[in-house]
Amino acid sequence: MRIATSMLITAGLVVTLAACSPASPDAGSADCTPTPSGKISDAVKVTGDFGSKPTVVFDSPTSAKSTERSVAIKGDGDTALEGDTVSVQFSIFNGATGDSIPGTDYTDATLTPFPLTSDLLPGFVKTLQCSTVGSRVVGVIPPVDSFGEAGSTASGIEPGQDIILVADIVSIEAATPSAAPADPPLPKANGTDQPATEGFPTVVLADDGRPTVTITDAAPPTELKIALLKKGDGAVVPAASDVIVHYEGINWNTKKIFDESWARGKPSPFNTAQVISGFTKALEGQTVGSQVIVIIPPADGYGAAGQPDAGIGGTDTLVFVVDILGLG
């Protein structure tokens, strides 16, 4: 979705840049005990101001036994607790190769909310939880706390490879225990099958709902196109709302998958106001339980700049198949 932003060091290298001072210790708060730092996370050198894209240098490959968390910049704002949603700018790297993985571009448009719940990768929660607003934190995340032994083809993470996360904690939305709990998300879209729409790729579903998408060699449409594959009878997705979805993104031009939640083995939570406009338009107004297919031209995607880290050129058209599994 937001493929994003991201990051860049040459594979397997140690860049000779000025290193920042050692990460500051973080005692957390009375309500939160942070994940401890380690030799690997302390050795990740991060320079640059909070809120701007950092320069990140580390020796690769890394091989963390458990998630390590260090603090490069210590903020003095509120502390992120379990269940809160933190809005962050972030950069990610493959710990084995040093390659960048899409993150954010440190503009208001790419500020990303992460709910500190079981819906997020455990290593991300361990890195972000107990951080204070204004902090820049570094997480070295092993497979056991990320994509396991399967890795993630869409993210460029092979089995056994660490993830390096550098995140700026911009704001926190505290959990509201008094609110009524949201319905648990569906395992897959359970709506009524809809007739195929002419001009769209074909979609075949596995038993677990994972799609196989076949795109013809025809030229893609030049305008945004949205169709329903399944019509759910759940709640309507409001504007700028938190949703839980499974999704697969394919580049029409290259026929390659560039991102998918199914490969990670769990659905993804995000806010519909925090993704590319074509994805927003595809989901808002739909119903939980629905499966949507959307064809997104560059104007509603990543524009003329594309997303080179994800293999998306400035003229590439995108296709997403999305299962809307829940709200909140």
Query: Using an 8 Å Cβ cutoff, are 285 and 294 in contact?
Result: no
- Comparing 14 with 120, the larger pLDDT belongs to 120
The radius of gyration of the chain's CA atoms, rounded to the nearest angstrom, is 20
Q: Which residue has the tokens 């949205």?
A: 226
> What confidence score (pLDDT) does residue 149 get?
77
- Comparing 262 with 37, the larger pLDDT belongs to 37
Q: What average pLDDT does the chain have?
A: 86
Tell me: pLDDT of 21 over 60. no
Structure tokens given for 325: 């599994």
Distance CA 312, CA 184 (A): 34
> What confidence score (pLDDT) does residue 4 get?
31
Distance CA 260, CA 243 (A): 16
What are the tens digits of pLDDT across the range 80-104?
Answer: 998 899 999 999 999 999 999 888 9
What are the tens digits of pLDDT across the range 210-258?
Answer: 999 999 999 999 999 999 999 999 999 998 888 999 999 999 999 999 9
**Percent residues over pLDDT 70 in the chain:** 88
> What confidence score (pLDDT) does residue 26 get?
47
Kindly indicate the confidence band of residue 270, based on its pLDDT and cuts at 50, 70 and 90.
confident
What value does the mean pLDDT take over residues 142-167? 87
Distance CA 172, CA 261 (A): 25
